[in-house]
Structure 1
Amino acid sequence: MRELFPTGPKVLRVSFLGEEAFSLEGLEGADRIFALTYSASEGLIRDLAPKVGEMEVVFGHPVPVANLQQLFALQELALEEIQGEVRGSEEVMEALRSGRLRLLLSRRASHAKLYLVEKGGCRFALAGSANLSRRALEGGQTELLFSLEDEEGVERLFALYQEVRREADLVRPEVLLRQVSPESLPLLEAAEKRAVVLQVPKEVPVVYRAEVVLKRAKAYEPVAKEARPKPGGVEVGPKAVKALRLGRPQSEEEGPPFLEVREEEGGLIVMGEFRPFLSPEEPEVREEALAMTRFLNRYLSGHFLHEKEAREQAEAYFRLWAWYWTAPLMSRLLRRAHLEGLSPHSYPLYALVFGKSGTGKTSVLRLLSRSVAGVPVEPIPGTELGKRALLAIHESGSEFPVVFDDVTHRDFSEKVEPVVKSLYEAPRGTITPVAFSFNASQSYVPPEEVRRRAFLVYAQAVLDETRPEAANRARAQAQEDFLRVRGAFFRAFLPGLLEALREEGDWLFASTRLLTDLLGEFLGAPPSWAKPMRLSDLSQSRLAEVRERLQGLLKMHKVEWKGGKPHLRLGPDARRIGRELPGWLVEEVQGDLLILKEKGLERLGLLRGSRWPLWELLGAK
């Protein structure tokens, strides 16, 4: 038996000899690459593997595990992600069958990133913070890479790699071609042939990211029950794997979700602990309300560039606050909407926070997460976003809004949008809400399908980094307020929201009005950014935004009438623009032509009475 969870990290002493730009092209043509990572981006293995002689990748995992079931669940999730990476490429599948490409799943909770390269008779090692992803290795985010070229250093890192590899299980190519099942896990395939002895810790930190693992882990309880104790660990053998095939745990045996509102009992369950609702008069409630107010007031304190943008951002983050504190109830509201024949799109299970870097998107989402959970809840890195992982989160049974941070446009488009479109179709059980944040330029426009179903927040006020002392002081003060928030204000807010929603169908108005009233009570008057707002107000803002967008298009492109319908020739951007405009305005896209609806133009006030003469904006000559 080997120790799977070492007591501490390794420290290697190095000397600085210089620096140079890194490029993936430097890995192409290598004779052999051995990689240790815990995530890989879409397509990178597909692109890199055919360009090297031999490649081996060991996937670790960042989430600590407390028992055998969780270890198996992590392998299941990792296997699903690897499937998405290699499926659809016959070249990669052939490399897997021939052994030129080998993928392994570690049993260790490994967070290391290490690349050992043999090329042209030379050997070198790259170590640092970068996972095997394009975003990490092509400059999409700040990473550190250290290159070791001396033989002794490379040998030592290769020995460390081998330590992890010895406790990893090879993924057979056949497994990647079928749906993942518990019996197909590499670890259990090994245990079915010969007993495997593992060691896991008795205690691990409480981390919300493990919730999906906890849910998946229930499927492996039959294995754990048949596992035999050994000194310092447990043994998993063929009998335990057989038990997995013969029995599955019943759904009613599942433990409590991370968060569940229990209105009848007068409180909520958080991590299995009951927490009663509080009165707004409790001292800790007022203290937290003041801390969260100070947090948003900093956007008006001169620390952020452009006064108007800063004010609008504080107002937008206040609306995000209202969404986040209503999100635990959104699945219930969605079911009610279906029963009452209301539009389900008025009850967004998603929030999309996008805009410039340095606007505090991550900070405000961390604050809101802590304000509900009462403990720090770190966002899930966008590099770990996957379609299956997202669906698993939705099905976790928790009402806690999960946050994916620093998501790329491509990942959002490919992995989130298909799920967004299908999530509102029919009433279901509890659907866990999710918030996403990503950097985007001012020209970015979310597709209309997303706009209809998600709560959008655009961030544009950037912290003034030209005054580093003031910027650092603002960060330090924000951190102080962050630490003062422990969930008391949310527990005082929730009873009032539940009461308001019995009569008020507009969740945004109910939430923003209640928050405004409570802050007014604590402060004597509500802050300037705290204002009640209705969903219809957002609709009017959206209407004005669409009108302005279309006016810009109409000034640049002449309108032609064909078959009684207005056509705009937009070139290669026609399809993208068509996706960004609402369906009541767009008839269809044909090649480079965007075909508009007359009634849509009338709704925008751009077409009145007879078709001719059109407004100057419509290009009439």
Structure 2
Amino acid sequence: MSDKRDRPPSLLGDSCSEGTSGLEVVQARFAGRRRSSFEDLVSGYSSMRVLTYSNSVSMIGRAAELLDRMEIVFGCEDVIGSTAAYFQFQEQLIKELVDEVRGKDALEQKISSGDVRLYVATETVNHEKLFLLEGERGRRVITGSANFSERAFSGRQNESYICFEDDPEAWEYFDEKYERIKAASTTSISKRAVLAGGFSPEHLPALSFEEDSGGITVAVGKPPAPSVVHKVIVTRPSRKYEGMSQVIPSRNGRANIDLQRASRAIRYIKSNSRTEGANPEEYLSVYPESGEVVVSGVVLDLEPEKPDVARDVRLLLEYFRGYENFRGDAKKLARDYFTFMAWLYAGPFVCDLRNAALSREEHVLDYPTFGILYGKSNCGKSELVRTLLVSMFQREGFLKNEWFTRTRMEGLMVQNKRYPLAFDDLDRTRFNTHAVALIKDDYLTLDEYPVTVLSMNAEQDTFGTEVRKRALIFYTNASLPDHVGESRKLASDVRRTRRELGNALYREYLRRALVALREERSRDILAFSSEILHGIFAEHCEGELPAWCRITSMADYERSKHDKVRDELLQLMRHAPDAWKRDASKVVLRLADIHDLRKLKKDVPDYLLASGSRGNALVFEARDLEEFLGRLPLERPGLSGLLARLFKGRG
């Protein structure tokens, strides 16, 4: 090989490294031309390295039959610039590669042995097309306008092929360029991704690097003059990749992806992969006889390592500790959210318990299939659902609210089997139109079906008796002001918790639950579940458990489920004392706004109301109302006199 000093000088210098200004011009001398084919071009060579920006994946199989070893760098200049488009490009590439390999044993063997290696670009690098061939015939460099595609090598389109035959200087120059581009701006496509037989987000090259690699950096600055392909992918990204810029933020046109961000991105993609008609990632089945739990086709390991369980317990204790920063009754909020956690964790078993109760002609309302969280904005309900889903299944997504209809829900239930359905920020109209009928359907005919979570704002502030007695409903008036420093810090802490949170705690919970459920008997679903959770937390908590982490029951829930209307009645007593009158054993409330009165009547338990409630008046049984409000209000300033007058002489 000749010395670099003998090489003819380029017009604008030797270096083509990043940051060098000016155009790089390779000087060459025309020696002739001839007609050829792809087979002719590679004949006599045993290995080939390719840099290409448009490709026909079928060319890989074709080339692999002619060569012993091959290495390909797939560029994506047309789509780098959008995080969503970049991931979608990688998915399409992986799927095409999987299809190409399927049924081709020789190609599969070469990929498995490492004789075929595949890479994908992470940067908007040179728009170079380059083929480097080596073998008994010597060394050949092919460059020009032709990409590695069937069309480019068909001879039917106008392409330039510049060929250097056994030219040491050309080989040194292009070999160095290829290796520099590969080392500096690509990531490997794993064998597992191509040989798996199907696509999974873990197969995306940008998310499947080794743990000790330190991560990768992807250029997401807008490329100049996007092509038609770029416009199609960028303007119509798949739903599962929408919002990726929030999961993997960029700065100055570059996105750094480390192991934690990759794990978070995989969870996000999986959580948004489903459509109304296809559900590849969110279905769950339980097999009590074998003790197996299968999530999305994968059998869960129900023997988690103790340190992993302890880590999840620690993270959830930290998460719940964040509620101490909330304004309002934060202690009650934490207790209610733990009760909700106990119900959701037991969700996969609710269908079995209900079906068994039906077969014994027992009461099924103690096994609610709907859980409703509602209250003020910033009360943490949506984040709670996301965090609990991550702790259970390592996924956190909500379904589209337009899917929540009476006609669509049964299909979703069949798809999910026992995997919870979750809807966020459901509006009043959709709830009233569809939820009431769905919640009142006590006699589902499916063998297995999921529980359903509804997160709602306080505007949905009334629930009829039929809904209240069938659904698990939690209202909170505690919230975190969004303008304070605690809010920003807590949001950061929640994101960190979800990044680090595994599902070891839930796998341990499932193991214990399956053992306990082998004994067929009637159960209090909240007592059953909260006792298991309390036991796991107690075993792995350093020090005393917080007060919210306690064994609870359906009876405890029944006593607290009317907290919202209780608060409203007490507020009316404090701020509108003239609206209340005592009449014998009755207490009468009159409001000028009939609409407000009707809403209140809908929330008030039926047993509190006496006959005579009509128009702008609600008539309560004095004894029942006092017991409902409890003794505590007598201690509140401004209420003691009114309450003494209303409830004196109780019979």
With the length of structure 1 as denominator, give the TM-score of the two structures: 0.52
Contact 1:344 1:424 in 2 (8 A): yes
Q: Residue in 2 aligned with 1:463? A: 480
Q: Contact 2:350 / 2:369 at 8 angstroms: preserved in 1?
A: yes
1:335 is matched with which residue?
A: 355
Q: Could you tell me which residue of structure 2 aligns to residue 283 of structure 1? A: 307
Q: Could you tell me which residue of structure 2 aligns to residue 527 of structure 1?
A: 546
Deviations 1:74-95 (A, max 9, x none): xxxxxxxxxxxxxxxxxxxxxx
**Structure having the higher Rg:** 2
- Give 3-state SS (helix, strand or coil) of 2:422's partner: strand
Decide which of 342, 349, 368 is 1:348's aligned counterpart: 368
> Aligned partners of 1:540 and 1:404: how far apart in 2?
26
Pair 1:262-2:287 in alignment? yes
Summarize the Cα distance change of 1:342–1:582 in structure 2 as closer, same or farther, 3 Å threshold. farther
Identity %: 21
Q: CA deviation at 1:520?
A: 1.2
Deviation at 1:359, TM superposition (A): 2.5
Aligned counterpart, 2:419: 400
Q: How many Å apart are 1:338 and its aligned residue? A: 2.0
Structure 1 position 257, deviation (Å): 7.3
Change (3 A) 1:538 1:8: farther
Counterpart of 1:492 in structure 2 is: 508
Structure 1 residues 7 and 411, CA gap change in structure 2 (3 angstroms): farther
Question: Offset of 1:530 from its aligned partner?
Answer: 0.5
Q: Distance in 1 between matches of 2:373 and 2:402?
A: 17
Q: How far is the alpha carbon of 1:327 from its aligned partner?
A: 1.0
- Out of 575, 580, 584, the position equivalent to 2:598 is 575
- 1:41 corresponds in structure 2 to none
Residues 75-128 of structure 1 show CA distances to partners (whole Å, capped at 9, x for unaligned) of xxxxxxxxxxxxxxxxxxxxxxxxxxxxxxxxxxxxxxxxxxxxxxxxxxxxxx
Q: Does the CA-based 8 Å contact 1:318-1:530 persist in structure 2?
A: yes
1:388 matches 2:423 = no
Cα displacement (A) at 1:262: 2.0
- Using the alignment, how far apart are the partners of 1:399 and 1:260 within structure 2? 6
For residues 209-228 of structure 1, what are the structure 2 equivalents within 5 Å? 210=274, 212-214=276-278
Decide whether aligned partners of structure 1 residues 466 and 542 sit closer, same or farther in structure 2, where only a CA change above 3 A counts: closer
The answer on 1:440 being equivalent to 2:465 is: no
Question: Whole-Å Cα distance in 2 between the matches of residues 283 and 433 of structure 1?
Answer: 30
- 2:320 aligned with 1:296: yes
Provide Cα deviations, 1:437-479, integer angstroms capped at 9, x if missing partner: 12216x93433332212112234433354444x5433322322
Q: What is the letter of the counterpart of residue 329 of structure 2? A: E
Partner of 1:584: 607
Q: 1-side partners of 2:565 and 2:615: how far apart?
A: 22
Q: Relative to structure 1, is the Cα distance of residues 462 and 552 closer, same or farther in structure 2, using a 3 angstrom cutoff?
A: closer
Contact 1:348 1:455 in 2 (8 A): yes
Whole-Å Cα distance in 1 between the matches of residues 488 and 284 of structure 2? 34
Give the superposition deviation at 1:321: 1.1
- C-alpha distance in 1 between matches for 2:334 and 2:629: 31
Report how far residue 526 of structure 1 moved: 2.1
- Tell me what 1:517 maps to: 535
* Partner SS for 2:329: helix
- Cα separation, partners in 2 of 1:8 and 1:603, compared to 1, 3 Å: farther
Aligned residues of 2:623 and 2:647 also touching (Cα < 8 A): no
Once the two structures are TM-superposed, the CA of residue 358 in structure 1 deviates from its matched residue by 1.9
Aligned residues: 380
TM-aligned CA distance change 1:394 to 1:273, over 3 Å: same
Distance in 1, Cα, partners of 2:292 & 2:298: 10
TM-superposed CA distance for 1:405, in Å, is 1.0
**Mapping of residues 214-253 of structure 1, within 5 Å:** 214=278
Q: Aligned equivalents of 1:7 and 1:394: distance in 2? A: 42
- Give the superposition deviation at 1:498: 3.4
- Mapping of 1:536-551 within 5 angstroms? 536-542=555-561
Separation (CA, whole Å) in 2 of partners of 1:384 and 1:9? 31
The one-letter code sitting in structure 2 at the alignment partner of 1:521 is: E
Q: What TM-score comes out, normalization by structure 2 length?
A: 0.50
**CA distance in 2 between partners of 1:550 and 1:342 (Å):** 35
Asked if structure 2 preserves the Cα contact closer than 8 Å seen for 1:566 and 1:598, the reply is yes
* CA shift in 2, pair 1:496/1:453, >3 Å: same
- Look up the SS of the partner of 2:430 in the other structure: helix
Q: Residues 334, 284 of structure 1: CA spacing in aligned structure 2 closer, same or farther, 3 A cutoff?
A: same
Q: CA RMSD in A?
A: 4.4
Deviation of the 1:212 alpha carbon? 4.3
Q: Secondary structure at the match of 2:453?
A: strand
Residues 552 and 484 of structure 1: CA distance in aligned 2, closer, same or farther (over 3 Å): closer
Deviation per CA, 1:420-439, whole angstroms, max 9, x where unpaired? Answer: 12x21466432221111122
Is the contact between residue 267 and residue 275 of structure 1 (CA under 8 Å) also seen in structure 2? yes
Q: Cα gap change, 1:576/1:521 in structure 2, threshold over 3 Å: closer, same or farther?
A: same
* SS of match in other structure, 2:480: coil
1:321 alignment partner, one of 332, 336, 341: 341
| Separation (CA, whole Å) in 2 of partners of 1:433 and 1:292 | 22
1:209–1:380 Cα contact (<8 Å) kept: no
Equivalent residue letter for 1:214: A
Q: 1:430 aligns with which of 416, 433, 448?
A: 448
CA distance in 2, matches of 1:586, 1:429: 39
Tell me how far 1:412 sits from its aligned partner.
1.6
**Aligned pair partner of 1:409 in 428, 431, 445:** 428
Q: Secondary structure at the match of 2:378?
A: coil
Amino acid in the other structure paired with 1:478: V
- Distance in 2, Cα, partners of 1:397 & 1:361: 22
Q: Once the 2 structures are TM-superposed, how far is the Cα of residue 386 of structure 1 from its aligned partner? A: 3.2
1:473 maps onto 2:489 in alignment: yes
Q: Give the CA deviation at 1:482.
A: 0.8
Q: Deviations over 1:212-246 (max 9, x none)?
A: 4137xxxxxxxxxxxxxxxxxxxxxxxxxxxxxxx
Task: Between 429-438 and 389-398, report the one with greater CA deviation.
Answer: 389-398
Residue 259 of structure 1 deviates from its aligned partner by 0.8
Determine the C-alpha separation between the residues in 2 that align with 1:528 and 1:214: 42
Per the alignment, residue 16 of structure 1 pairs with none
Local SS of the residue matching 1:413: helix
CA pair 551-292 structure 1, distance change in 2 beyond 3 A: closer
Residue 395 to residue 11, structure 1, CA distance change in 2 (3 Å)? same
Distance apart, 1:493 and its partner CA: 0.6
Moved more, 585-594 or 356-365: 585-594
Q: CA deviation at 1:559?
A: 6.3
SS at match of 1:277: coil
C-alpha contact 1:517 1:526 (8 A) present in aligned 2: no
Contact 1:393–1:432 under 8 Å retained in 2: no
In 2: Cα distance, 1:363 partner to 1:212 partner: 24
CA-to-partner distance for each residue in 1:348-369, whole Å, 9 max, x for gaps?
Answer: 1111111122222221111111
| Equivalent residue for 2:331, pick from 311, 314, 317 | 311
Could you say if the C-alpha distance between residues 425 and 504 of structure 1 is closer, same or farther in structure 2, counting changes exceeding 3 Å? closer
| Partner SS, residue 469 of structure 2 | helix
- CA offset at residue 486 of structure 1? 2.9
Change (3 A) 1:598 1:317: closer
Whether contact under 8 Å (2:622, 2:647) holds in the other structure is no
Cα pair 1:585 1:600 within 8 Å, conserved: yes
Cα pair distance change 1:549/1:314, threshold 3 Å: closer
